[in-house]
Structures are given as C-alpha cells and as structure tokens.
Structure 1
Amino acid sequence: MATESFVIRTPASSANIGPGFDVIGLALSLYLELHVTIDRTKTTSSFPLNCRITYEGDGEADVPLDPDANLVTRVALYVLRCHNQRSFPVETHVHIKNPIPLGRGLGSSGAAVVAGVMLGKEAGGLHHLEPSRLFDFCLMIERHPDNVGAALFGGFVGTYLNPLKPEDVARKEIPLSEVLPAPAGGVDTGAQPPAPPLGIGHHIKFPWSPAIKAVAIIPEFEVATAKAREVLPAVYPRADVTFNLQRIALLPVALGQTPPKPDLIYLAMQDKLHQPYRQTLIPGLTEIVESMTPSTQPGLLGVCLSGAGPTILALATDHFEEIADRIIARFTRQGIQCSWKLLEPAEGTQVTRSQA
C-alpha cells in the first residue's frame, strides 16, 4: 500500500439542552471533516512532526497550521504518544474542512477534540481502541461530556463522569497542557503524557422523535466558554435546582414521543441554572427564549440556548423559516446580524477509508 487515505467526519453538537446543563447533548447534522493522506513510500518529511495541515472553513484566517498548536493534531499527538508513537507517520497530510462556527455554542471545540482522538487512532493504527476508550481520551482534554459524547456517539445523549480520585471530584477540566507539553515549534520534548484512566465517563442514548428538527439561529459574535462559565454562581438556590431536576426527568421522554406533545416539551425545556445568568453576555436572551410558545407560534416545541451560546436552538416540527425569522428579528433590534440553519440529529463520528 503506497498511499493511505481516509476521511473522519464528526458532527457539531448542542449541549445543555433545556435543563440538561453539562449533562445532555445532541449531535447535529453539520460536520467537521478531516481528509487525511499518508504517503507510505516516503521515509523522511520536511514538515514538523511529519504532518502538514491545510484548512478551509470557519476561522480560516486564525486557525494555527502547526501540528503542535492546532487543536485537532495536538489531540491526535496525545493519543499517539500515549502509545509510544512520538509523531505522525511520515508525510501525513491533514486537510480540515470546518463549517461549524467557532465560539458559537455548536460544539466546535468538542468536534475538534473527538476528530483529533480519532485521527490519532487511525494514523497510529490503534484499531484496538474501542469507542468507550476513545471517550476516555476525549475527556482527558475536555471534561464536558455532553458535547464530546454527542460528537463521538451521535444522537441525543445523556452523559456523566465517574469520580476517579478524591481530588479529581473538584476538577472540571484537565487542561491540554497537562497531557501534552506546550507547543514548542515542532520539537519533541520527549515527555510521556499521562494515559487516561479507564471509564472516565459514560453515556446513554435517548430516543428522539423523527418529527422534531432543530432550528439553529447563529448570531455573528462569539461567546467564549470560559467567559460563559464565569457568570455562573458557585451556589444555587434549592428551588432552582429542584426546578431543573423536575424538567430533566421529563425531557428525554418528551422528545422521544411520537407525535410530539408541544406543551410538554415546552415545559420540559425550561431552565434556571445557566440561561438566566448568561443573558448578560447575549443581548435579549431572556426575551428571545420567552417570546414564543407553542400556542403563539405554530410548529414550535421549545427554545433554549445552545451550549454556552450565543446560538439559539429552537426545536420544531414545521414553520421552520417563520420561527427563525421571528428570533432573528429580536436580535436585529439589538443590532446583531444572524444566520440560521435547519439541522437534525446526526450519527456519531465516522471514518471512511480508501486505498491507492
């Protein structure tokens, strides 16, 4: 085999669906693609870490193309080095096609992490790595299992983390710098990264009614996840926690019923744990979420913030364009331009191989 080529296709995702803060994720039919070619006839490479990166799509002017700085390839290197492979195979070319808006609450970083883990598996010939083990690698880098769980496994998923050690319970994330040395211009430091413990996180797939689609309204500004977490309180009122627990018990059942019950879904999608606090970052958020109900807007089931925002996700059965136009009009009054996409639940990360 002279040349090996394969495509990794990873979906976008929406986290925190309704009351499911840091728990529930939905894979969406918008895909990050890695088109990978490895020339097995070559024995040396002029590229750092044997890898050339090219990129097209959202953030094209800003995404780094050094393999030890780009998130996708840096994650892949983590997987490779945990298996005693210090770099990519000689003459690896990774062409990234990314239509997922960066920093908009549609899981762009989660998709990059999942695609990177899969790249490490495929480039390194690590075919013994099962999906559950790949999930461990993802969670060493991004400890928000709802996004990476949806992107890896697909569909509508509930996720949870296992406490590994007493000191780990309080930790929310393990920075990438802890599992890989800081970028060093392509120079291998020789450091051995810590391999993930077994069974960091788990997931379960919930049913989803085929009648339900997702209308994603995407404002033209970014909200950093770290900034969106800073506005959240350290302690919540018991009544607000109970409010969310009641609704999260309803939501997976409500979204799996056919035909959907609009009033039940609308009730089940309400939240008091993150959306009220993030309205300071997203002008008009509360008004937008509360401005429409199934009784005032045909086809609507419920509205919520997608991830950390600013994207708004409206679940609906029809009248998609009308719903999008009404929400966009609210942003327009704030001087914010938007685009929108009609999406549906997607399968998880897929790999397609070809040989030449």
Structure 2
Amino acid sequence: MHLIMESEVPCSSANIGPGFDVIGLALSMYLELRVSIDKTQKPNASTPLNCTVTYSGVGAEGIDLNPANNLLTRTALYVLRCHNQHEFPAQTHVHIHNPIPLGRGLGSSGAAVVAGVLLGNVVGNLNLPKTRLLDFALMVERHPDNVAAALYGGFVGTYLNELDPDDMARKEVPLSEVLPQPAGGVDTGLTPPIPPENIGHYRRFNWAKEIKALAIIPDFEVSTAKAREVLPQSYRRQDMIFNLQRLALLTTVLSDSPPDPELIYSAMQDKIHQPYRKTLIPALPDILSSMSPRSHKGLLGICLSGAGPTILALATENFDAIAEVIVQRFKDEGISAEWKVLEPAEDGATITEVAGDVPSYRNEAHKA
C-alpha cells in the first residue's frame, strides 16, 4: 500500500452579518483526507471506479461509500473526467474523517467539494494551480464564500463572474453529466462540461488576532434549499442600502486591533436573510435581539453561520458565559446544542507532501 497524500480542508462560515453570499471565514475544524494506492494489485472488476471509500466522523451511518455517489469522490471524478481520465488509479483507497456537522451552516459540503478537487488533482497528476481548482469547485457548488474560504483560508470576499446564460442557469453539474447512470453503470465516455476559467474571484481581508469565533451548533439541520425558499424574490431599497453600508465597514473593522465592540456589533446587523429565516430556527430572534457587547462582556457581534442553524458569535473573551446563554435559549425551545471556540484557518486547504510529486499548497494559501 503506497500512501500518496494527506490533506486537511477547513470548515467555513458564510453570510457573516450583512455579507449575504459575499463574505466567508475559514475556521479551525478540518475535514481530513488520507489517500493510498496499492500498486502491487491489479484492477478488480468488483471495485467500482477502482476506488474504495471509508469514513469516520459525524453522520457516519448516513454516508454513501459508493465512490460514484459520495460527494467528495464524485467531485474528484468530475475533475478527472474533464482531463480524459474516467476512473481512479487501480486500487485507490480514500479515507475521509469529518468532524464538521452536516447541514448546520458550517460549510460541510463546501469542504467535501474542495477536498474532492484536491483529490482529483493529485491522483490524476494534473498539477492544477489553486486558481483553476476554484473553477472546478464552483462548478459543483456555486457558493464562492464557502468554497474560496475553505480553499484559500482566512476571511475572504468573493464574487462570481456574470457568465453566459446557459452557465449561469447551471447551479451544479448534473450527476448524469459526471458519472454513469445508474451509479456503477457503463461509462458513456463523454467529457463533462469543463469550467470556464476564472469564474470566481476572491480577496482576503485582515482579521484581528484578538477575535475568535464561537460556534453554537444546535441539534437539527436546515437544508440550504429550504433556507433559500423562505427568502423574498425582491428587497426594499432601504434594506439593501442598510446591508451595503454595514458591509462596507465590517470588512475593515474586523481587522482593527484592539477591536471596537460597538462598531463591530452595529456593522454585523442584517436585513437580507436573517429576518426571513427566523421561522426555521427557533430562538434566533431572541438571541439576536437580546445579546450585545453591553449585555455580554467580550461579545463583538452575532449572526447566523451560513443558512444556519449554527449561531456564530465573534468574541474576545468570556466564551463560556456567552455560549451558555445561547445554549440555554435553544434549550428553552426544546433543542440541545453544543459549542466550540474556533479560530480563523489561515492556511485554507493543505496537502502534506508524503510521496512523489504531490503538490503542496501550504505556501500558496495567501496568494490572490
């Protein structure tokens, strides 16, 4: 058995404060990937796509280990097939360890997609730069705030190019265009749609060293699709101006040292998505309206993480007390919750060079 790569991909929080679909933050909870190839073994017809998948971590009982269906290996196969490689190298084994809660607004699918493009790049010996890997990731998941944060790390602002109408209509690459149907069936030999170049862009913002992210994770899921459904098709001009004004300040004030609690708290207010998602997340209105730097020492600002239901509280101290208040708010609604203190994951997705020509991205994390 020949170990070829080990990788870590951070979770991420998006929609921070007024930054709906714009800003994301990579955080220090990591999906881990370990890949090996047994070159002494011949291809086995009983092994789908020459790949076996094992998994440990949260939600293990519900994870599909068929490489044709698993999101991570499906993404890797998409990258491979865009380069005329229609399966994994013979006797590939992929082990995924995932501590990131599923469906809780902490970028679990974004981390899996980023890990998938890294996997395809390595096993296919493609040597693609991170800028191109971002294109592939965005063809599978069109959330640049999560994906760019997980890939590049840190606190990032993102946007997608305005593509041709056919490309913009595509929310993700249909499974039928990437893998044989049904799963494990005969390969059509067709090349899936290849991403346009530079379809997404990002820039990193500075982050004050004093600020940590407190993630309070309630014990239920909110699907991104359902969270999108409750949003209106149009917004009042006043609400858009409200968010834009605060967003213009937030990306700068989070870099100030020492942080200004009142300014950060004010700049994290939102009228675009949180008011409409309160019906999906019990206790959210009470949490947002009753907690501030004046009432809770150390608190800087509070918001939904992604589409929720995780609550993200930015703070400099007093983490236990702040978390206990939010946990109790959920408990009052009959919902249990756990909490973690996380820091920005500055390096983003990294690969440990363990064999051959495996590329290392550890030093590329801060490049635009």
TM-score range, shorter chain: over 0.9
**Equivalence for 2:359:** none
Q: Please state how far the C-alpha of 1:177 moved relative to its aligned partner.
A: 2.4
Partner of 2:90: 90
Q: Is contact 1:181–1:191 with CA below 8 Å preserved after alignment? A: no
Q: Residue 140 of structure 1: CA displacement? A: 0.5
Give the whole-Å Cα distance in 2 for the aligned partners of 1:228 and 1:279: 10
Q: Secondary structure at the match of 1:61?
A: helix
CA distance in 2, matches of 1:154, 1:178: 31
Deviations 1:52-72 (A, max 9, x none): 000011110001000000000
Distance 1:266 1:168 in 2: 38
* Partner residue, 2:360: none
Is the contact made by 2:68 and 2:179 (CA closer than 8 Å) also made in structure 1?
no
Q: What is the distance in 1 between the residues matched to 2:102 and 2:13?
A: 13
Instruction: Output the amino acid matched with 1:35.
Output: R
Q: Which residue of 2 is the match for residue 52 of structure 1?
A: 52
CA 80–341 in structure 1, closer or farther in 2 if over 3 Å, else same: same
Q: Where does residue 147 of structure 2 map in the other structure?
A: 148
Please give the per-residue CA displacement for 1:92-134, whole angstroms capped at 9, x wherever unaligned: 000110000000000000001000011000111111x111100
**Equivalent position amino acid for 2:9 in 1:** T
Indicate the residue corresponding to 1:348 in structure 2: 348
Which residue of the partner structure matches residue 103 of structure 2? 103
**Which letter maps to 1:316?**
A
Deviations 1:28-49 (A, max 9, x none): 0000011110122223134110
1:231 equivalent to 2:230? Answer yes
* 1:203-253 CA distance string (max 9 Å, x none): 000000010000000000000000000000000011000000000000010
- Equivalent positions of 1:322-337 (< 5 A) are 322-337=321-336
Shift in alpha-carbon separation, 1:276–1:79, aligned structure 2, 3 A: same
1:215, 1:342 within 8 Å by CA — same for their partners in 2?
yes
- The residue correspondences of 1:204-219 to structure 2 (distance < 5 A) are 204-219=203-218
Q: Cα distance, 1:6 vs. partner?
A: 1.2
Q: How does 1:90-239 map to 2 (within 5 A)?
A: 90-127=90-127, 129-169=128-168, 171=169, 173-177=171-175, 179-181=177-179, 183-187=181-185, 188-239=187-238
Task: Determine helix, strand or coil for the equivalent of 1:122.
Answer: helix
Could you tell me which amino acid in structure 1 is paired with residue 49 of structure 2? L
Q: How high is the TM-score relative to the length of structure 2?
A: 0.93
| 2:149 and 2:156 in contact (8 A); partners too | yes
**Offset, 1:172:** 6.7
User: Could you tell me which residue of structure 2 aligns to residue 241 of structure 1?
Assistant: 240
- d(CA) in 1 for partners of 2:199 and 2:176? 16
SS across alignment from 1:252: helix
Over 3 Å counting, the alpha-carbon distance change for 1:183 and 1:328 in structure 2 is: farther
* Cα distance per residue 1:159-196 (max 9 Å; x no partner): 00001214545x37224426414652323232210110
Inter-partner Cα distance in structure 1 for 2:183 and 2:106: 30
Q: C-alpha distance in 1, partners of 2:189/2:180?
A: 12
- What CA distance in whole angstroms lies between the structure 1 residues aligned with 2:173 and 2:132? 19
Q: Aligned partners of 2:147 and 2:16: how far apart in 1?
A: 14
SS where residue 254 of structure 2 aligns?
helix
Using the TM superposition, give the Cα deviation of residue 277 of structure 1 relative to its aligned residue in structure 2, in angstroms.
0.2
Distance in 1 (alpha carbons) for counterparts of 2:48 and 2:125: 20
- Structure 1 311/172 Cα, relative in aligned 2: closer, same or farther at 3 Å? farther
Letter in 2 for 1:281: L
| Distance in 2 of aligned mates of 1:140 and 1:325 | 39
Aligned Cα RMSD in Å? Answer: 1.4
**24 and 238 in structure 1: CA distance in 2 versus 1, 3 angstrom threshold:** same
Q: What is the DSSP-based 3-state SS (H/G/I as helix, E as strand, rest coil) of the residue aligned with 2:54?
A: strand
Could you tell me how far apart the structure 1 residues matched to 2:156 and 2:30 are?
18
CA displacement at 1:353 relative to structure 2: 2.7
* Structure 2 equivalent of residue 61 of structure 1: 61
d(CA) in 2 for partners of 1:312, 1:339:
11
Distance in 2 between residues matched to 1:270 and 1:179, nearest whole Å: 41
Q: State the distance in 1 between where 2:210 and 2:197 align.
A: 37
Partner of 1:37: 36
User: Is the Cα–Cα contact under 8 Å of residues 82 and 192 in structure 2 kept in the other structure?
Assistant: yes
User: 1:301 is paired with a residue of what secondary structure?
Assistant: strand
Give yes or no for the alignment of 1:290 onto 2:281: no
CA distance, structure 1, for counterparts of residue 116 and residue 124 of structure 2: 12
Count the aligned residue pairs: 353
SS at match of 1:52: strand
Distance 1:120-1:238 versus aligned 2 partners, 3 A rule: same
Q: Distance in 2 between matches of 1:179 and 1:289?
A: 43
Which residues of structure 1 form unaligned runs of 5+?
none
Hey, what's the Cα distance between the residues in 2 that align with 1:242 and 1:109?
31
Q: Give the conservation status (yes or no) of the 8 Å contact 2:180–2:188.
A: no
